[in-house]
Structure 1
Amino acid sequence: MSSGQPRGVRRDTIVRVGILAWLTVVYVALWGDLSTANLLAGVVVGALIMVALSLPRVPVSGRLHPLPLVEVVVISAYYALESSLQVAWFAIRPAPPPVSGVLRVYLSTRSDLVLVLCTDVLNLIPGTMVLEIDRRRCVVYVHVLDVGSDAAVDKFYRTTRRLERLLVDALERPTGRRSAHRHHLRR
């Protein structure tokens, strides 16, 4: 390494700059006006948030793989759109409300980052809400709007399994990935 800094210090700096940039983008988006004053205020507010509300570090041991990450974004957007249409249909259809329930999902990842991102994506999908995370056993309890049929439950588990696999592919090291033959999700 020619820079003289340890790899962890450089990575930590890159992560902090990325967080500051993201907070700045959110600030400017909330104001709805891209101006120099809003940009500078966004940087200041972002820095204050990072100092005053610092979060514990999530250990990241993988590498970012751009193509699977793009696939995660596209598939997540598709699931969110599909679920939004399903929720809208449930709201206007001339039938009783769907049967809802809480499903237990066993995740195979041991990465805190993948676990958090997987639960975040599940929360973004209309009709689902993560209620509890058991980190020790890697179990997530999710309220699902439609569990009225085996097909609906199986679809939820397939969706969750696919999201987890895509996140593992996007964020974990190739040597640290679980075997593709292993059953990733149990009921």
Structure 2
Amino acid sequence: MLLTQLWRQLPFFVWLVALWMLLWGQFTWVAFFTGLIAAIFVTRVFRLPPVELSGRVDLWHGVIFVGEFVLALVAGSLTVAAQVLDFRRQPGTAIIAVPLVTDDDLIMTHTAVTASLIPGSLIIETDRDRRILYLHVIGVRSARDVDRQRESVQRWERRIVMAVGSRAQVAAVRAVGPTRGGVA
């Protein structure tokens, strides 16, 4: 039982060590061992409930996610830059609610972080019980723009589920069907 629990938490433990090394900007044995000590300290002092991973990784959908994310970063940066430099009009803003399909905390977190990292939108609140993300977005001038933003976040959720979600989550997002933009 304890060994199974430790095995499930191994990816997060490894991530803490890697994060430590990234924070210090050193990939040395000293940084590794101090990161190991820090990870042991953090996981023992700040006990969190274990996060259940699906155990499923679809590399093809993962590559698609990363590629589209990089493209969205570039497109979002250019769009925000154009909005800032257009002195003729102010970019419209809105706060929108985006309902999600899955009720998994990890998928919701990944979706929220992905949406926030793309320039032009920021997660301001999450309603875990009702599975809703609230975003502040810029560049909104019409109801159509709001719908496009909402569909964009729902597509990110779908991409993440297809890449790392459980089989039940994949079935749930497939049952809902693709958003208007469509994701395979």
TM value normalised by structure 1:
0.81
1:149 is aligned to 142
Counterpart residue number, 2:9: 16
Percentage of matched positions with identical amino acids: 25
The 10-residue stretch of structure 1 (72-81 or 149-158) with the greater mean CA deviation from structure 2: 149-158
Runs of 4+ in 1 over 4 A off after TM superposition: none
Give, in whole Å, the separation in 1 of the partners of 2:71 and 2:106. 22
1:173 Cα deviation after fit = 3.2
Corresponding residue for residue 83 of structure 1: 76
- Give the counterpart of 2:176 among 175, 182, 185: 182
Stretch deviating more after TM superposition (169-178 or 39-48):
169-178
SS at structure 2 position matched to 1:57: coil
Shift of 1:9: 5.0
Contact 1:59 1:112 in 2 (8 A): no
1:92 equivalent in alignment to 2:85: yes
1:107 and 2:96 are equivalent in the alignment: no
1:57 aligns with 2:45: no
Question: Would the alpha carbon gap of residues 15 and 78 (structure 1) be closer, same or farther in structure 2, given more than 3 Å must change?
Answer: farther
Cα shift at 1:81:
2.2
Q: Distance in 2 between matches of 1:134 and 1:16?
A: 26
Q: Deviations over 1:96-150 (max 9, x none)?
A: 3211110111111122221121112112112211122122221111111121134
Contact between 1:132 and 1:140, CA under 8 Å: does it hold in 2? yes
Once the 2 structures are TM-superposed, how far is the Cα of residue 13 of structure 1 from its aligned partner?
2.7
Task: Give the CA deviation at 1:161.
Answer: 2.0
Secondary structure of 1:180's aligned partner: helix
**Which secondary structure state, in structure 2, belongs to the residue aligned with residue 101 of structure 1?**
strand
Deviation at 1:181, TM superposition (A): 5.2
Name the amino acid aligned to 2:82.
Answer: W
Tell me, yes or no, if structure 1 residue 140 matches structure 2 residue 133: yes
Q: Does 1:130 align with 2:123?
A: yes
Task: Give the distance between the partners of 2:138 and 2:105, measured in 1 at CA.
Answer: 26
Deviates more, 1:152-161 or 1:97-106: 152-161
Cα distance, 1:62 vs. partner?
5.9
Which residue in the other structure is 2:61 paired with? 68
Q: Contact 1:107/1:184 (CA < 8 Å) preserved in 2? A: no
The 1-side partners of 2:68 and 2:47 are apart by 31
Q: 2:164 aligns with which of 162, 165, 171?
A: 171
| CA shift in 2, pair 1:14/1:67, >3 Å | farther
Per the normalisation by structure 2, the TM-score is 0.82
Provide structure 1 residue ranges, at least 5 long, that are not aligned to the other structure: 1-5
